[in-house]
Amino acid sequence: MAMDEGILQLFSGSSNLPLAQDVAHCLGMKVGQALVGVFANEETRIKIEENVRGSDVFILQSLSIPVDHHIVELLLMIDALRRASARRITAVIPYFAYAKQEKKMAGREPISAKLVANMLTTSGAHRILTIDLHAPAIEGFFDIPVDHLRAAPILVQHFRQLDRDDIVVVSPDAGGVGRANDFRQRLGAPLAIIAKQRPRPDVAEVLEMVGDVRGKVAIIVDDLISTGGTIAEAAHVLKMRGAVEVRACATHGVFASTALGILADSDLSELVITDTVPLPANAGDHKVRIVSVAPLIAESIRRIHENRSVSELFD
């Protein structure tokens, strides 16, 4: 234990308490006591109910729906811990919202991801720990250290259990080629790419595909599933091109609106998701399988606390 950093303490906002409890279990500890609620006027209420003076504190909070409420919760928890004299505060954000708004697509638009980064830093966070940012360049929005974890090794391990040599990894768009290429190298499979365009937000149109999927098991790799439209359309194209089976995986299952229904009615035979975002109780009824990132987060927290390398986990 790195005594100069104080004792290790883990707290959680309200967005993903089950994941925080799993992380705490992996660390052999309990989630710290904190009041996280709402006043009668719907303002967020925060009170840290343990002594954190001189401690190395980690707060786990996914920025999931309702996104803005969970952001405010996290900011207030960081501020409360800073005012309570915590020595170091690390915001553990398994899913970082607003990551698709990392640049201006037209005039008079905000760069929302940058603003969220600014608020986290201003509130008093000393470090950020997150998983699979939609745009890796967001790391540069912070003036504090960012540990950017990858869920690929966990997801790849799931598909290794298929023990087949007819797998092809598919990127559902040109922007995800790097992610899919890393995945296929770990799995030892060829790569196919689907080209698409977005005529308007949250709507995707498939244009063309590069690569051979005929007679193969296609695995679509993405970082985030929101409406489910991109994955469903990609699965349909792959089936039309001769894939014998289509599976998919993604790190973050946001599942907005009717996404689960769309995926259930799609050509997918399986969708593998991590638990960075809390999933509906009936998710398993919609071809969804869940793998946990709790051991990865716990080991990363342990390494940060002991001032050891986190990047070694992915070498």
Residue positions annotated with a catalytic role = 196
Report d(CA 253, CA 190) in Å as an integer.
25
Q: Tokens in use for 100?
A: 């698709």
Position 158: which residue type?
A: H
Residue 12 β-bridge partners: 60
**For residues 194 and 222, what is the distance between their CA atoms, to the nearest angstrom?**
12
Q: What strands, in cross-sheet order, belong to the sheet with 191-200?
A: 203-210, 191-200, 167-171, 217-225, 245-253, 270-274, 288-291
- Output phi, psi for 175, to 5 deg: -65, -20
Asked whether 229 and 194 are in contact (CB, 8 A), the reply is no
